[in-house]
Amino acid sequence: MNIPPGTVNPPIRNEEALRFLLTRRSRPPKTLTAPAPDRAALTELLTAAARVPDHGKLEPWRFVVLERPALERLSQAAGDYARTHGLPETVAAKGVSQLGDSPLCVVVIAVPRPTEKVPQIEQTLSVGAACLSLLNAALAAGWGAGWLTGWIAHDEGFAKTAFGLNEGEWVAGLVHIGTERMLPPDRPRPDLDRIVTWVEA
């Protein structure tokens, strides 16, 4: 199609995509059950997750996919670790159940790249974008999905061994994906009048 010079095309709205973004909501992982996406279906979701803003094309993230046998093993390991390190029982239980009850979990790992051109904060923001893109892709594909962290993500002693972290890496999110058993009620959303500033000139 030939567009005359100086012509400005009006924006083309993607109503379906906008409707999804305006109504999307995470599913609590405890409401998810099997089946989970198979490897072919998950590869599509991971492809979407990797298609995020990435200044310098550094790919400051990677994904570790935990399938059911791995989740069962790590749930047991989390319980053992919590007892050995004296974690409060209520705290320990959250990590154990998060792994043990999950149909499938993708660990999104931040991989900081040493470069002077791209500040670490920009790399961190790209990792967060990858988490959200994976979450949204799973929801858009019809799965239930939720993004959590917790002590199993932040405790360096556990996470390094459990998720195979290399030096300098850290866990940005545990994205649980499966079939939703129930639709959770929506939660109150931000009041735009409180968080938006319009600058006219």
189 is in an annotated binding site: no
148 in a known ligand binding site: yes
Residue 199 belongs to a domain: no
Binding site annotation covers 26? yes
The answer to whether residue 186 sits within a structural domain is no
User: What range defines the domain where residue 94 resides?
Assistant: 27-180
Q: Is residue 59 part of a domain?
A: yes
Task: Tell me whether residue 125 is annotated as binding.
Answer: no
pLDDT score for 68: 98
- At residue 182, does pLDDT exceed 90? no
With a cut of 70, say whether residue 1 has pLDDT above it.
Answer: no
Q: Cα separation of 148 and 128, whole Å?
A: 12
pTM for the whole thing? Answer: 0.93
Q: Does any domain span residue 22?
A: no
The sign of the dihedral angle between the CA atoms of 175, 180, 182, 186 is positive
pLDDT tens-place string over residues 3-40:
667 778 889 999 999 999 999 999 998 999 999 999 99
Nearest to 108 by CA among 183, 34, 177: 177
- The count of structural domains within the chain is 1
- Looking at residue 64, its pLDDT comes to 98
Q: Band the pLDDT of 2: cuts 50, 70, 90.
A: low
Percent over 90 (pLDDT), the chain: 90
119, burial (CB in 10 Å: exposed 0-12, middle 13-18, buried 19+) = exposed
Residue 5 placed within a domain: no
Residue 107, strand partner residues: 64, 174
Pair of tokens at residue 31: 């409401």
Tell me the per-residue pLDDT of 73-118, one tens digit each, with 9 for 90 and over. Answer: 999 999 999 999 999 999 999 999 999 999 999 999 999 999 999 9
pLDDT at position 185: 84
Instruction: Check: CB of residue 133 under 8 Å from CB of residue 175.
Output: no
Residue 149 assigned as binding residue: yes
CATH of the domain at 138: 3.40.109.10
